[in-house]
Structure 1
Amino acid sequence: MSYVRGQYVRARQDWAVDQERLRHDQALHHIGENALFALMWTARDHDAGLVGLCPACADDRIAKAYGQASRNKCPECFGTRFEGGFRALIVRPAVFTDADDSQSFTARGTVAPQEVHLETTSDFRVHSGDYAMRATGERLQLRVPQRTTIRTGFGTPYQREAATAYNLTRAAVEDQDSVAYMLPPDDTDDLVEILSRTGAVPPSFADVEVIRAPLIPLYERD
């Protein structure tokens, strides 16, 4: 508690944020499943000097003219146009909703889209175009999530300090011929084996995870 000119000003209680995050993460580990998230490089990462252009597909005339990869299934950048393709591969607990099969008519014909919602931890930032991989073998493309943050006073509730969840992120199941199935591990049996690990709680995924840049970039601190 502190006083300024006779007025009460709420003091930030870091322990309260930590306790709320702990409860949320415990629930995810208890009722959720392990998912492998592929966080892809973005143009903002390149502008921030975190990654260079893909040497395989970003140096031809098409890429230079349109500012995007000349082929979607580049084995080097996975269609991102940036070297290595992804900034991180991480395993986190997540809760997925059920999905019902449906059909829709598009310019490419009749398709059967599946869209689910998922919730996971708050220690990383996703963007549209990132991917989540499940122990079922499915790979899903993510949409921009809605964050849940705790307000601890008059300050801005930045994700790094006050977020407790990524709440109800939309994700669409990708077709088998999608570039998502080229991401490591590109073998579905290997993916299932990784995400089905048991033993320690939580099990270690240090041999699988790759982190090439901050999980919450400094330019996206809010």
Structure 2
Amino acid sequence: MSYVRGEYVRSQQDWAVEQERLRHDQALHYIGENALFCLLWTARDHDAGLVDLCQSCASDRISQAYGQASRNKCPSCFGTRFEGGYRALIVRPAVFTDADDSQSFTARGAVAPQEVHLETTSDFRAHSGDYCMRATGERLQLRAPQRTTLRSGFGTPYQRESATAYNLARAAVEDPESAAYLIPPDTDGLIEILSRTGSTPPSFTDVEVLRAPLIPLYERD
């Protein structure tokens, strides 16, 4: 005698993800601030055919041999080695922790690093090395962003379907002499953009730049 054992498999609850994202975004708009995120091109973008190498600094023999830009402060690619430097400039609400000045000794001498943690929306993929710009004029480099996904049923929690936040990504304030300050807008323009008032939230479509999907298909996990 044989029989088939019945099993119940819980289905994906899309409404739960939507509700959690809504609450999260409301909190960001309520207690956060607008920040400009600069998402840089990566080698995977180049391999996927989304971007070409920079014609100014990535076409010589040195760059091709070592696989990196021949100069760090290239005004065309900002040291990324890829044409245009960034795949997107977007404004998103974000919450930042406070930063205290400190001093540490490195191979380059005494430095005063400032690190904060930030949290923002889940509708884009950030990488270590991307930049976040604040209304204070500071530009911060992200360190290994991490996602928070909501498991509401059986299946793999991909970012596009289930992510609710980037949770506590570390970011360090960049030196004013770094390539980060070559990326438009300039400091005065940045402060003016992020200090906009009026509609809630204000529109930033005139300053945002999208050159590729915010979550590439090859990075949907």
Which residue of 2 is the match for residue 190 of structure 1? Answer: 189
Q: How far, CA to CA, are the matches of 1:5 and 1:135 in structure 2? A: 60
Pairs within 5 Å for 1:144-163: 144-163=144-163
Pairs within 5 Å for 1:93-172: 93-172=93-172
Letter in 2 for 1:110: A
Which residue of 1 is the match for residue 204 of structure 2? Answer: 205
Q: How far, CA to CA, are the matches of 1:61 and 1:7 in structure 2? A: 61
Deviation string for 1:7-34 (max 9, x for gaps)?
Answer: 2221211111101100000000000000
Following superposition, the deviation at residue 143 of structure 1 comes to 1.3
Q: How far, CA to CA, are the matches of 1:86 and 1:32 in structure 2? A: 25
TM normalised by structure 1 equals 0.96
- 112-121 or 58-67, larger mean C-alpha shift: 58-67
TM normalised by structure 2 equals 0.97
Which residue of 2 is the match for residue 60 of structure 1? Answer: 60
Q: Say whether residues 1:11 and 2:11 are aligned partners.
A: yes
Following superposition, the deviation at residue 64 of structure 1 comes to 1.0
Deviation string for 1:148-193 (max 9, x for gaps)?
Answer: 10112220100000000000000000011011100010x2111000
Unmatched 5+ stretches in structure 1: none
Following superposition, the deviation at residue 6 of structure 1 comes to 2.9
Q: How far, CA to CA, are the matches of 1:72 and 1:158 in structure 2? A: 34
Q: How far, CA to CA, are the matches of 1:47 and 1:83 in structure 2? A: 13
Unmatched 5+ stretches in structure 2: none
Q: How far, CA to CA, are the matches of 1:213 and 1:127 in structure 2? A: 15
Q: How far, CA to CA, are the matches of 1:123 and 1:102 in structure 2? A: 33
Structure 1 runs (4+) greater than 3 angstroms displaced: none
Following superposition, the deviation at residue 65 of structure 1 comes to 1.0
Preserved contact between residue 78 and residue 85 of structure 2 (Cα < 8 Å):
yes
- Identity score, percent: 84
Letter in 2 for 1:81: R
Letter in 2 for 1:23: R
Letter in 2 for 1:12: Q
Letter in 1 for 2:161: E
Q: How far, CA to CA, are the matches of 1:12 and 1:166 in structure 2? A: 21
Letter in 2 for 1:217: P
